[in-house]
């Protein structure tokens, strides 16, 4: 995608990236983020955390939709229909 410069505050870094910030984010490293604000001076504030949370919500929504359809395994009745009890 397009290259842009912005500010990624420490509190907006995804948990898996935290640690020595200078080592994890050397100047010029490309990262995937979401723009969370642009101030009156045109400064861009970025977030990995917001992007990660949105992706998690989307994954959870897909999971719930799959569950509503009975999942890949089918219903509980389907699983036990051939079960023979002694």
Q: What is the pLDDT of residues 25-70, one digit of tens each?
A: 788 788 888 999 999 999 999 999 998 888 889 988 888 888 777 6
pLDDT at 47: 94
Q: How far apart, in whole angstroms, are the C-alpha atoms of residue 53 and residue 74?
A: 29
Instruction: Give the mean pLDDT of 10-19.
Output: 77
Domain ranges of the chain: 10-70
- Better-predicted residue by pLDDT, 17 or 42: 42
Question: Could you write out the three-class secondary structure of 30-69?
Answer: CCCCEEEEECCCCCEEEECHHHHHHHHHHHHHHHHHHHHC
Q: What's residue 82's pLDDT?
A: 76
**pLDDT category, 8, cuts 50, 70, 90?**
confident
Other C-beta atoms lying within 10 Å of the C-beta of residue 52: 19
């Amino acid at each position: 995608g397009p290259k842009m410069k912005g500010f990624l505050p420490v509190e907006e870094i995804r948990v898996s990236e935290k640690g020595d910030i200078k080592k994890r984010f050397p100047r010029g490293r490309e990262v995937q983020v979401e723009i969370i604000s642009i101030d009156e001076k045109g400064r861009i504030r970025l977030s990995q955390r917001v992007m990660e949370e949105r992706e998690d919500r989307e994954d959870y929504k897909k999971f719930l939709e799959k569950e509503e359809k009975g999942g890949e395994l089918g219903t509980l009745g389907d699983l036990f229909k051939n079960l023979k009890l002694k």
